[in-house]
Amino acid sequence: MDRQVSSKDVPSFEIVEEKIKEIDGSIIVLRIFYIFMHIAYKFQLIKNDKLCSIEIPRKLLEGIRSRNSLLEEELTRILDTNIQQIDGWNKI
């Protein structure tokens, strides 16, 4: 089972949250899990009555701390792709 973590335990959480709000200001980060098998964080987002899960590699989040523009662009691409997919959102 993946371990739930708090936002303070996630590298670059503020940047991830900021980019999510830029895409859609009505999305809320509900929970975050650390996935040991993939060495990634799984963000569960909620919007209205729908839930979306997005996995972001830990190395990407750690690299963003230095405000690397290429890594920030990769993060934006991952978030945008997953948030914009209609079938990525499940009714709760």
Pair 12, 62: CB distance under 8 Å: yes
H or E element in which residue 31 lies: strand 28-35
Mean pLDDT, the chain cut into blocks of 10 residues (92 residues total) = 90 95 96 93 96 96 88 96 91 91
Residue 79 is predicted with a pLDDT of 97
pLDDT, residue 1, reads 66
Contact 34, 5 (CB under 8 A): yes
Look up residue 92 and give its DSSP letter: -
pLDDT value for 22: 95
pTM of the model: 0.91
Quick one: 73 exposed, middle or buried, by C-beta within 10 A (0-12, 13-18, 19+)?
exposed
Task: Check if the beta carbon of residue 55 is closer than 8 Å to that of residue 41.
Answer: yes
Domain ranges of the chain: 3-91
